[in-house]
Amino acid sequence: MIRRASLVLVGALMGATAMSVIYTAVIPAQAAGGSTYKELSIFGDVFERVRAQYVTPPDEEKLVENAINGMLTSLDPHSSYMNSKDAEDMRSQTKGEFGGLGIEVTMENEMVKVITPIDDTPAARAGVLAGDFISEIEGQPVRGLKLEDAVEKMRGAVNTPIKLTVLRQGADKPIEITVVRDIIAVRAVKSRVEGDVGYLRVISFTEKTFDDLQKAIEKIKKDVPADKLKGYVLDLRLNPGGLLDQAINVSDAFLDRGEVVSTRGRNADETRRFNATPGDLTDGKPVIVLVNGGSASASEIVAGALQDLHRATVVGTRSFGKGSVQTIIPLGENGALRLTTALYYTPSGKSIQGTGIQPDIKVDQPLPPELQGRVRAEGESSLPGHITGQSETQEGSGSVAYVPPEAKDDIQLNYALDLLRGNKTDPSFPASPEKAAAVTK
């Protein structure tokens, strides 16, 4: 689970879950040796003893689920068993839509603060406003809950109502608002024009990501004449990852050729290589990629591909360093097994497992006084039981994952804008297409 600090968190939309780089596959199991089955018979004996003799009757389903998870978590932090509910949540997240309210939230003063209600969603229609504080959910105080727990309470089945108690500036008493949950389609990409620069923020890699990115680029091209457009900022900060095929497609959007990524499993014949196709959606305009300690897995694939192929300059701080691929294997009763089956490698053949993407230009984003001492740099290398990367050093991976809520305070973004506009210079910018050609030969 990736922990990241941000004053802006899409809590009620995506939850606080870090999604793995995944692809769906069903792989036949191979028979284990005789000694293994003897050990499994011991497990059966222990289970029966616990079931029959434990001081209070245990939940047998939970016993089995916890035993399975114990086995998987002993492998690495990203392999796990998902029961039917967890598997359904995962499918909803990768589709980019689920039953919810449609609000972006954060935690402030031990209450859920609404950053903004999304247009034409249940929350907006019910009268929830930006700046509202949610103090109670279904009559239960929010105080004392973690943000992810409060978010989970607000999510639910479509067409079911939920009662929120809201504290609003200027109101003389709490306001009770009933919201009827509906399908919330989460935008995977947010975009805007920063004067003469196109800004693209990829929030996560769901089934909608490439389509959203394509539409965003087309809109920027319409808004800014080609001769005026200085380039693009691709913001991958706080992006926890998502679908492998979407990471490949997003990389391909900026490339004409070259290997995007390769995945290598236990056996040599399991190696897979994915290449870019002709057609750069940005017409070769300069690109700067922003990363920080919250950029993981799929976002690192994109940053690594564009960096290695010299299509973009990477600015920010070292990324999380999750270089493993999880296969989702469907199981009975709609559960699923999430199993680490491969590591991925950037075009230059480098694994970033436990090391992360080192930016071409390191630019720190200082924490505000209220967060200093409360937020620490974490990465894959700090996770207990992580797979040790081939190039991992004591320095490890990761960095502080913080993005200011206001663009004017965003040092990393403004540094990128200055580079694109020529107000700052650096030998690493612009990236060299000639070097990219050399890499792909």
Give pLDDT, residue 50.
95
Give pLDDT, residue 20.
39
Give pLDDT, residue 149.
85
Give pLDDT, residue 370.
82
Q: How far is CA 11 from CA 67, 116, 185, 261, 365, in A?
A: 30, 11, 14, 30, 22
Rounded Cα gap, residues 343 and 361, in angstroms: 26
Biggest CA-to-CA distance, the chain: 78
Tell me the three state secondary structure of residue 56.
coil
Rounded Cα gap, residues 262 and 264, in angstroms: 7
| Burial bucket for residue 439 (CB in 10 Å: 0-12, 13-18, 19+) | middle
Phi, psi torsion values for 227, nearest 5 degrees = -75, -15
pTM of the model: 0.81
Give pLDDT, residue 5.
29
Amino acid at position 265, single letter? G
Say if residues 344 and 324 touch (Cβ distance below 8 Å). yes
- Dihedral sign for Cα 100, 102, 107, 108, please: negative
Give pLDDT, residue 105.
85
Pairing of strands 111-117, 22-24: unpaired
Q: Which ranges of 75-169 does DSSP label H, i.e. alpha helix? A: 84-95, 122-126, 147-154
Please state the separation of Cα 278 from the chain's center in Å: 27
Cβ atoms < 10 Å from Cβ of 195: 11
Phi, psi torsion values for 192, nearest 5 degrees = -165, 170
Identify the structural domains of the chain with CATH numbers, from first to last.
94-185 (2.30.42.10), 189-440 (3.90.226.10)
**DSSP assigned state of 319:** -
Could you list the active site residues? 297, 308, 322
Give pLDDT, residue 102.
87
Amino acid at position 337, single letter? L
User: What are the per-10-residue average pLDDT scores of the chain (441 residues)?
Assistant: 29 31 47 74 93 95 91 92 85 79 85 84 91 94 87 88 94 94 87 97 93 98 97 95 94 97 92 96 97 95 98 97 92 87 95 96 93 82 92 91 92 98 96 54 39
